[in-house]
C-alpha cells in the first residue's frame, strides 16, 4: 500500500505543479479539474486514504462535469486548498484523519532558549513544542539578547557556556535592562556544583538544572514557572516598567465609560499615542536607554494630565489616554500641548543629546451605537494617519476606517508547490491591522532576487526552504544578511529535522527562527503570526 500511496501523492503534486507553475498558463478547464478529483477519489478509496477520498468527493459535488468554465489559477488554488493541505500531511505524517481541531493561537506561551550546543537546542525545541509551547532559539548571545527584548518571552532558558559572552553576563545584561519585568529565567549547565548554582541565582536566575537534563523534571519545572508567570500577569494592574496602568486594566476600565455614557450622555475622548521612531532609540542607544525613555514619557504624561484622566501602557511604546467629560476639540488641544512640551525634553547618552516626539490618534465617544472595540479602533487608525502625515501631531477620527497602511513585504521561497500554496494561504489570512502584507511566492532563490523585492527598502519577512535546487536556503539567507538591506530582513528557515549542521549555520548567518519539516500547518501559522506581529 505504501508504494501506491507515494505514487498517488507524487502524481497529484505533478499535476498541481503543471497547472500552477507555468507563467503562461491562463486557466484550467473545469472538465480537467473534475477528472483530476475523480481519479484521486477512486484511487484514494482503493488504497484506504479515507480523508483524501472524502475531500475529493466533497469538491466533486461542487462541480459540473459538463460545464465549460475555465478556472483562473488563484481561484483554483483556493478551491483545491484543502486537498493540497491534506496531500502534504499524508506525505509527511502517518494515520491521518480529516482535521477538525482549531488552529493553536499565536499567543501560546513563548519560551526562548540560548545555547551554543545545536543538538541540545534541537532536542529541547522538539520536546517543548510537543507540549504546545512556542520555542525560539539562538546560539549567539548578542543576537539572543536583542531577540529577548523584541519577542518578550514568557520564560528564558540559557546555558552558562556561550561563545564570546557567558550565560552569567547575558543574565546580568538582561537583569540590568529588564529588572522591572517578571520573566522567569532558568540556567542549564554541565557545571552543577554548589558555587556555580549560587552564582546563577545571584545573577538573577530563578531556577537551575544540570546537564544531562532529566526531561520529565525539566518539563515540570517549566510548567510551574509558566503558571507563576500567568498568575502574575493576571493579578497586576500596573505596568512594571512605566508604573502606569497596564493593558489588562484598560480592558476592564474602558467598558465602564461606555456604560456611564449611556446613563449620563457625558461625552469622553480616547487617545492612542505612540513614541515616534522609538525603534531607532533602541537600535542607537540600547534597550536600557529605551526603557528609560518609556518610563520618563509615561511619567511626563501622568504628571501633565488631570487627576481624572487615565493613562495606560498598551504595549511597547504605545499608550492610551482616557479624557473623561472631554469633547474632541478640547482633547485635541491638550494633546497638541503635550506633544509640544515633550518635544522640548532633552535626553542624554554618553554626552550625546537628543529629543523625541510622539504622535496621537483621537476619538470622541458621543453616540451610544459605538462599542469600546470600535472606539479604540477609530483612535488607533487616527494614530497611524498622524504617523503617515509626518508624526508629532494629533489626528482625529470621524468614524471612518479609511487610511493608508504601512507595507511589509512577505516572501516565500520553496520549490514545493503545495508548501508555497499553503504558506501563501496562511499569510493571507493573518490580520495585521495597520500593516498591509505584500505577499509573493517564489520557486527558487534566483527568481526572488531577480524580482527586485530584496532591494526595495521595505521591511521584509522571508520564509525560505533550506534545501532547494539552483540556490539553497542558506545561500539565500547569506545573501540577504550580507546585503545593504540586511537590517530590514527577518528570516524564518524551513529545514529538515535531522539537519543539525544546517540549523547551526542558519542561526549563525542570522535566521530569526527555524521550523523543522515535516511541520504542522496550524503550528506554523501560529509561529508566523508571532514573528509577523513583532514587525508591527
CATH number at residue 250: 3.30.70.270
Do residues 260 and 330 share a domain?
A: yes
Strand order in the sheet with 207-210: 134-138, 110-114, 155-159, 185-189, 207-210
For 35, the domain range is 2-92
In angstroms, the Cα distances linking 518 to 12, 94, 99, 326, 509 are 18, 11, 16, 56, 23
For 357-394, what is each residue's pLDDT tens digit?
999 999 999 988 889 999 999 999 999 999 989 999 99
Do residues 372 and 441 share a domain?
A: no
Residue 287 grid coordinates: 534597550
In a domain, residue 191? The reply is yes
How far, in Å, CA of 287 to CA of 281, rounded?
8
Confidence of residue 409 (pLDDT cuts 50, 70, 90): very high
In order, the DSSP letters of 425-460 are HHHHT---TTEEEEEEEESSHHHHHHTTGGGSSS-E
Three-state helix/strand/coil letters over 469-521: CCCCHHHHHHHHHCCCCHHHEEEEEEEECCCHHHHHHHHHHCCCEEEEECCCH
Q: Is 152 left (phi over 0), alpha (psi -120 to 50) or beta?
A: left
For 41-78, what is each residue's pLDDT tens digit?
888 878 878 888 888 999 999 998 889 899 988 899 88
Do residues 253 and 386 share a domain?
A: yes
In a domain, residue 104? The reply is no
In a domain, residue 350? The reply is yes
Do residues 224 and 257 share a domain?
A: no
Do residues 255 and 377 share a domain?
A: yes
How far, in Å, CA of 240 to CA of 184, rounded?
14
Do residues 196 and 291 share a domain?
A: no
Do residues 197 and 260 share a domain?
A: no
Is 359 in a helix, a strand, or coil?
A: strand
Residue 195 grid coordinates: 558555587
Is 333 in a helix, a strand, or coil?
A: helix
What's the pLDDT score for residue 155?
95
Confidence of residue 476 (pLDDT cuts 50, 70, 90): very high
Confidence of residue 158 (pLDDT cuts 50, 70, 90): very high
What's the pLDDT score for residue 402?
52
Residue 456 has pLDDT above 60, yes or no: yes
DSSP state of 393: S
Q: Which ranges constitute the DSSP H helices of 319-468?
A: 328-343, 372-388, 417-428, 445-450
Which residue(s) pair with 360 in the sheet?
Answer: 273, 394
What's the pLDDT score for residue 100?
36
Give the pTM.
0.69
- Cβ partners under 8 Å of residue 268, min gap 6: 257, 261, 322, 323, 324, 325, 326, 364, 365
Do residues 129 and 222 share a domain?
A: yes
Q: Percent of the chain scored above 90 by pLDDT?
A: 45
In a domain, residue 101? The reply is no
- The average confidence (pLDDT) of the chain is 87
Confidence of residue 195 (pLDDT cuts 50, 70, 90): very high
Which residue(s) pair with 274 in the sheet?
Answer: 318, 359
Do residues 144 and 87 share a domain?
A: no
In a domain, residue 97? The reply is no
Residue 436 has pLDDT above 60, yes or no: yes
500 compared with 252, residue with greater pLDDT:
252
User: Number of structural domains, the chain?
Assistant: 4
Residue 101 grid coordinates: 481541531
In a domain, residue 98? The reply is no
Answer whether 4's CB lies under 8 Å from 42's CB: no
Q: Could you tell me the CATH number of the domain that includes residue 29?
A: 1.20.120.160
Residue 119 has pLDDT above 60, yes or no: yes
Answer whether 118's CB lies under 8 Å from 500's CB: yes
Do residues 217 and 278 share a domain?
A: no
How far, in Å, CA of 22 to CA of 399, rounded?
45
In a domain, residue 99? The reply is no
Q: Could you tell me the CATH number of the domain that includes residue 496?
A: 3.40.50.2300
In order, the DSSP letters of 131-180 are TT-EEEEES-HHHHHHHHHHH--SEEEEES--SSS-HHHHHHHHHHHHTT
Do residues 117 and 62 share a domain?
A: no
For 11-35, what is each residue's pLDDT tens digit?
898 898 888 876 666 789 999 999 9
Which residue(s) pair with 319 in the sheet?
Answer: 273, 313
For 273-326, what is each residue's pLDDT tens digit?
999 999 899 888 888 899 999 999 999 999 999 999 999 999 889 999 999 999
In a domain, residue 15? The reply is yes
Q: Which of 527, 517, 508 is nearest to 461 (CA)?
A: 527
How far, in Å, CA of 114 to CA of 385, rounded?
39
Which long-range contacts (C-beta less than 8 Å, at least 24 apart) are formed by 142-145? 143/510, 144/112, 144/114, 144/170, 145/170, 145/173, 145/174
For 202-236, what is each residue's pLDDT tens digit?
888 999 999 999 999 999 999 999 999 988 887 88
The H or E element containing residue 413 is strand 406-413
What's the pLDDT score for residue 526?
79
Domain boundary among 396, 429, 446: 396
Answer whether 134's CB lies under 8 Å from 125's CB: no
Domain boundary among 369, 396, 423: 396
Q: Which of 324, 321, 308 is nearest to 266 (CA)?
A: 324
The H or E element containing residue 228 is helix 215-235
**Helices 287-304 and 167-178, interaxial angle, to 10°?**
10
Domain boundary among 32, 62, 92: 92
Do residues 229 and 249 share a domain?
A: no
For 76-108, what is each residue's pLDDT tens digit?
988 998 898 888 878 776 544 433 333 445 578
Amino acid at each position: 500500500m505504501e508504494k501506491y500511496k507515494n505514487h498517488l501523492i507524487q502524481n497529484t503534486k505533478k499535476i498541481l505543479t503543471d497547472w500552477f507553475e507555468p507563467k503562461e498558463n491562463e486557466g484550467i478547464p473545469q472538465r480537467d479539474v473534475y477528472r483530476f478529483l475523480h481519479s484521486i477519489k477512486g484511487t484514494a478509496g482503493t488504497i484506504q486514504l479515507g480523508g483524501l477520498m472524502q475531500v475529493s468527493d466533497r469538491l466533486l459535488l461542487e462541480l459540473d462535469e459538463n460545464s465549460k468554465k475555465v478556472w483562473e489559477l488563484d481561484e483554483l488554488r483556493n478551491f483545491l486548498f484543502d486537498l493540497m493541505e491534506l496531500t502534504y500531511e499524508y506525505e509527511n505524517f502517518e494515520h491521518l484523519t480529516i482535521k477538525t481541531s482549531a488552529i493553536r493561537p499565536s499567543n501560546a506561551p513563548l519560551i526562548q532558549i540560548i545555547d551554543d550546543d545545536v543538538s541540545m537546542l534541537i532536542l529541547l525545541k522538539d520536546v517543548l513544542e510537543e507540549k504546545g509551547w512556542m520555542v525560539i532559539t539562538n546560539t549567539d548571545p548578542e543576537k539572543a539578547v536583542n531577540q529577548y527584548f523584541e519577542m518578550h518571552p514568557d520564560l528564558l532558558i540559557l546555558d552558562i557556556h556561550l561563545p564570546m559572552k557567558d550565560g552569567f553576563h547575558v543574565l546580568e545584561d538582561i537583569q540590568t535592562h529588564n529588572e522591572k519585568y517578571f520573566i522567569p529565567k532558568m540556567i542549564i549547565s554541565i557545571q552543577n556544583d554548589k558555587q556555580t548554582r549560587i552564582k546563577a541565582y545571584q545573577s538573577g536566575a530563578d531556577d537551575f538544572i544540570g546537564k544531562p537534563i532529566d526531561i520529565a523534571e525539566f518539563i515540570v519545572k517549566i510548567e510551574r514557572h509558566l503558571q507563576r508567570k500567568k498568575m502574575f500577569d493576571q493579578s497586576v494592574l500596573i505596568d512594571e516598567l512605566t508604573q502606569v496602568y497596564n493593558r489588562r486594566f484598560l480592558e476592564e476600565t474602558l467598558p465602564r465609560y461606555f456604560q456611564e455614557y449611556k446613563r449620563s450622555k457625558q461625552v469622553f475622548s480616547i487617545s492612542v499615542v505612540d513614541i515616534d521612531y522609538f525603534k531607532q532609540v533602541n537600535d542607537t542607544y540600547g534597550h536600557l536607554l529605551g526603557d528609560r525613555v518609556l518610563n520618563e514619557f509615561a511619567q511626563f504624561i501622568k504628571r501633565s494630565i488631570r487627576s481624572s484622566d487615565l493613562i495606560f501602557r498598551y504595549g511597547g511604546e504605545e499608550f492610551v489616554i482616557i479624557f473623561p467629560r472631554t469633547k474632541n476639540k478640547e482633547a485635541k488641544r491638550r494633546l497638541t500641548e503635550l506633544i509640544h512640551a515633550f518635544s522640548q525634553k532633552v535626553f542624554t547618552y554618553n554626552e550625546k543629546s537628543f529629543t523625541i516626539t510622539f504622535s496621537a490618534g483621537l476619538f470622541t465617544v458621543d453616540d451610544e451605537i459605538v462599542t469600546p472595540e470600535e472606539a479604540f479602533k477609530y483612535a488607533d487608525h487616527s494614530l497611524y494617519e498622524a504617523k503617515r502625515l509626518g508624526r508629532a501631531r494629533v489626528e482625529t477620527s470621524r468614524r471612518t476606517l479609511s487610511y493608508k497602511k504601512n507595507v511589509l513585504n512577505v516572501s516565500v521561497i520553496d520549490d514545493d508547490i503545495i508548501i508555497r500554496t499553503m504558506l501563501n494561504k496562511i499569510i493571507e489570512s493573518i490580520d495585521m491591522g495597520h500593516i498591509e502584507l505584500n505577499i509573493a511566492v517564489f520557486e527558487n532563490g534566483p527568481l526572488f532576487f531577480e524580482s527586485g523585492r530584496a532591494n526595495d527598502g521595505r521591511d521584509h519577512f522571508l520564509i525560505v526552504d533550506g534545501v532547494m535546487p539552483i540556490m539553497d536556503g542558506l545561500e539565500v539567507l547569506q545573501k540577504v544578511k550580507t546585503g545593504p538591506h540586511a537590517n530590514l530582513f527577518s528570516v524564518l528557515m524551513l529545514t529538515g529535522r535531522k539537519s543539525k549542521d544546517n540549523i547551526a549555520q542558519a542561526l549563525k548567518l542570522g535566521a530569526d527562527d527555524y521550523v523543522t519539516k515535516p511541520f504542522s500547518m496550524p503550528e506554523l501559522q501560529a509561529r508566523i503570526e508571532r514573528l509577523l506581529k513583532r514587525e508591527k
